[in-house]
Chain A
Amino acid sequence: MTFTVSTLNPGVIRLAIEGELDAVTVPDLRKEIDRLTSTSPKRVEIDLSSLRMVDSSGVGAIVSIYKRIRGQGGEVVVGGLRDQPLAIFRLLRLDRVMLGADLPGPAVNAQRNSE
């Protein structure tokens, strides 16, 4: 699993997650969630178009970002889901709540992290 954090505009963050987000890799993402939420962004775009597999712990991490940012009054958009991750989000009935339209715009100021 790798993830990339980009600042699109002041207060607007894009988090792109690639590969497999599971019980093995999710601790790395959890650290980033803590850092990201501490800045109280007004909008977070979560790009999952390159996420290949997700398990329940990975889903839990995505839900955590969603709830924490919204709890701060921010907006969260989740986009790009396909294949297994999309099926899991549908199975857990998260598609009705969390999935937004395609995520627009190029990413700038990207910081890439990997396990």
Chain B
Amino acid sequence: MMAEPALIKIQMVGRLQHRDLVLRSVAAACKLVNARPDSAWADFRTEVVTAVGEAFNNVVLHSYEGQDEGLVEIEIQTRPDHISIELRDWGASFDPESVPVPDFESLPESGFGIYIIKTLMEIQYKAGHPNVLTLSKSLNGSATQHDTVDGDL
């Protein structure tokens, strides 16, 4: 049976305490992408959840830095073998293209988030009011123009 296209919308105050709710929703939505979960799908789900977790962290910790009541809207769209997640916030904007690749040799303790997101999913960002970050990924193809994950993510 083919998976039917689906649209899920979530609206919340952007707090780290809501991270788990967001990621559980995204993980559940991944089930709508493929009616026959297998190991490739499990890897797909883990990569999507990992990337969205980093994106949500960025919204709360950077876009809404110092604020406790910033609004976050998350729109998840699924169709067979594909998912896209849109995160909207009304906080500070940033340019993901200006974020450098971490200097791995120096063992940095931060600055990994955007690199992880870009590696695991396709990314589009539109600064504005709201800022709109769109992450997308296909089940049957790598979503990245960067490094690939060579583990069992």
Residues of A with Cβ closer than 8 Å to B? 22-24, 53, 55-57, 59-61, 63-64, 66-67, 82-84, 86-88, 90-94, 97
Contact check, A87 vs B110: say whether CB atoms are below 8 A apart: no
Contact check, A92 vs B57: say whether CB atoms are below 8 A apart: no
**CB-CB nearest in chain B for A26:** B16
Cα–Cα distance between A94 and B46 once the two chains are bound (Å) = 20
Contact check, A56 vs B54: say whether CB atoms are below 8 A apart: yes
**CB-CB nearest in chain B for A97:** B107
Interface residues of chain B: helix, strand, loop or mixed (majority): helix
Q: List 25 A-B contacts (CB under 8 A).
A: A22-B57, A23-B61, A24-B19, A53-B50, A55-B53, A56-B113, A56-B116, A57-B110, A63-B108, A64-B109, A83-B46, A83-B151, A84-B46, A84-B50, A84-B152, A86-B151, A86-B152, A87-B46, A87-B149, A87-B150, A87-B153, A88-B116, A91-B116, A91-B119, A91-B149
B112 within 8 A of A: yes
CB proximity of A54 to chain B, nearest CB, Å? 9
B20 within 8 A of A: yes
Cα–Cα distance between A91 and B49 once the two chains are bound (Å) = 16
Cα–Cα distance between A90 and B152 once the two chains are bound (Å) = 10
With A23-B57, A90-B149 known as contacts, the answer to whether A67 contacts B46 (CB < 8 A) is no
With A66-B107, A86-B152 known as contacts, the answer to whether A92 contacts B112 (CB < 8 A) is yes
Chain B residues lying within 8 Å of A84, measured Cβ to Cβ, are 46, 50, 152-153
Pairs of residues from A and B, 10 with the lowest C-beta to C-beta distance, nearest first: A87-B151, A87-B153, A56-B112, A60-B109, A93-B104, A56-B113, A23-B57, A90-B151, A63-B109, A24-B16
B140 within 8 A of A: no
